[in-house]
Chains A and B, each alone.
Chain A
């Protein structure tokens, strides 16, 4: 019986259960500490120390925040669509969990390796939008509805350049299997997809592709400067306006989980996943260390961008996508396909 679940055909299920528990812990802790990192980052970028009262250097701040959120009442305002209103925060974490299961954290550490893993990540990634829209729509609040509409149009606008640049990279890799994509990038940082296309001449514009991917990633996760969905100065808290207590906290966790998913995909696709940047110190636990080092470097950049740029206007956001990002990504796609055909 035990044999069946450890080494037998049941080991796949064991793996899934372990990863489900581990991811729940990881997503929760990660969300809590990314909030702290964000607040610390905001402070440091403004030459403040950030939260520093709870515990040494403020490291207990997330616990205080968590207790506060749990202790607060989950208020359901009169007139809302009760079922959808409660369903939305419950659903918002689901896509992120599904995506995290396919991401290879190290050579042997992954929830489930699927040969179309990337496709799955992007298909589930777009479901997050529906959860936000559901919450906004069910809230019976004009700000929330405006926010819901913005989320949808923003995500439609940015899904296209996102998928176009991913296509460009997929033409280089030739597979959607994330583990294989990482294995292709072995050897050193010059073999990572962000640079490999340049010197193999298959896609000299691959750094541009990465920049477009990064911008789209910010827009898809509703991060500043594209946080139109939660534009505090205009829409109070957007789709989360009517949420309180831990249902609001779940939206927040969902946002940070999505950041982790997006940054993980960026790491896997462009920055070599768990591969060492210099070729040595690879394998085993090193893979995990490199992966998380790269992941949190990308997340730091996300925070850095947030505290550098002001929020764009909504038409500016859509103009950027339709008039700049989509033409450029189409151009790189054409160039890349032509070069791969010729060379």
Chain B
């Protein structure tokens, strides 16, 4: 290698070092993107897939589920079990039991696809924790919905008269779901 080529290479290498340093200095003065996790959390994106849950109809404050069991049949892992009763005067059945075995769920979403009433959706729960298997292998979605209904009722003081809620759903929720800490959605990066 001639001396000129060597000198060129050294200069080029040195220039590349300076370019790198300029880039990192730019990062140094850029805003910090850390989310201070326990104090602030990220808002989960629209397509985030948590475990499935029953949709709370914003109009009625109840579930749209008619216990048609299409989701139960669509589930490849057989982790959903649904049951419902036909109430007096109602056109369709109402859901009374909706159990999810989250330990075998693969979050494939076939149940959400299969539902003809848009009655189930993915929750945004990403930090589900538990200390025993039993907290996830039989998650009671109806009771969880009842918990959310309590919140809904606070914003809608007059309960709609239309379809009477099944007893299990109307019962005051002890806790929405013991395994799911609330996720305050405060910060969007």
Contact = CB atoms under 8 A, between A and B. Distances in A.
Chain B, interface size category, equals: 10 to 19
Given A309-B17, A324-B10, A49 B34 contact: yes
A304 B24 contact: yes
B176 to A, nearest CB: 31
B34 A44 contact: no
B10 A309 contact: no
A153 interface: no
A46 B30 CA distance: 9
Interface string B14-32: 1001001101110110111
A47 B31 contact: yes
A14 interface: no
A45 B25 CA distance: 7
A25 B28 CA distance: 30
B33 interface: yes
Interface in B1-49: 10, 14, 17, 20-21, 23-25, 27-28, 30-34
Given A45-B27, A47-B34, A49-B34, A308 B10 contact: no
Contacts of B25: 304
Interface of B is mostly: helix
Nearest to A300: B28
Chain A, interface size category, equals: 10 to 19
A202 to B, nearest CB: 22
Given A309-B17, A324-B10, A47 B27 contact: yes
B30 A308 contact: no
Contacts of A41: 28
A305 B21 contact: yes
A47 B30 contact: yes
A305 B21 CA distance: 7
A302 to B, nearest CB: 12
Contacts of A286: none
A47 B17 contact: no
B32 A304 contact: no
A49 B32 contact: yes
A200 to B, nearest CB: 25
Interface in B118-158: none
A341 interface: no
Given A304-B21, A308-B21, A309-B20, A46 B27 contact: yes
A109 B25 CA distance: 34
A217 B28 CA distance: 23
Contacts of A43: 32
A48 B17 contact: no
Contact of A48 (B20, B23, B34): B34
Contacts of A211: 14
B28 A45 contact: yes
A307 interface: yes
Nearest to B31: A47
Contacts of B31: 47
Contacts of B33: 47-48
A49 B33 CA distance: 8
A49 B35 CA distance: 10
A308 B30 CA distance: 15
A324 B21 CA distance: 21
Contact of A44 (B10, B20, B21, B28): B28
Nearest to A46: B27
Nearest to A305: B21
Interface in A43-58: 43-49
B15 to A, nearest CB: 12
B28 A48 contact: no
A240 to B, nearest CB: 27
A47 B20 contact: no
A49 B14 CA distance: 30
A179 to B, nearest CB: 33
A-B pairs, top 5 by smallest CB distance, nearest first, are: A308-B24, A48-B34, A44-B28, A47-B33, A49-B32
Interface of B: 10, 14, 17, 20-21, 23-25, 27-28, 30-34
Given A43-B32, A44-B27, A305-B21, 16 more contacts: A44-B32, A45-B24, A45-B28, A46-B27, A47-B27, A47-B34, A48-B34, A211-B14, A304-B24, A304-B25, A304-B28, A307-B24, A308-B23, A308-B24, A309-B20, A324-B10
25 contacts: A41-B28, A44-B27, A44-B32, A45-B24, A45-B27, A45-B28, A46-B27, A47-B27, A47-B30, A47-B32, A48-B33, A48-B34, A49-B32, A304-B21, A304-B24, A304-B25, A304-B28, A307-B24, A308-B20, A308-B21, A308-B23, A309-B17, A309-B20, A324-B10, A328-B10
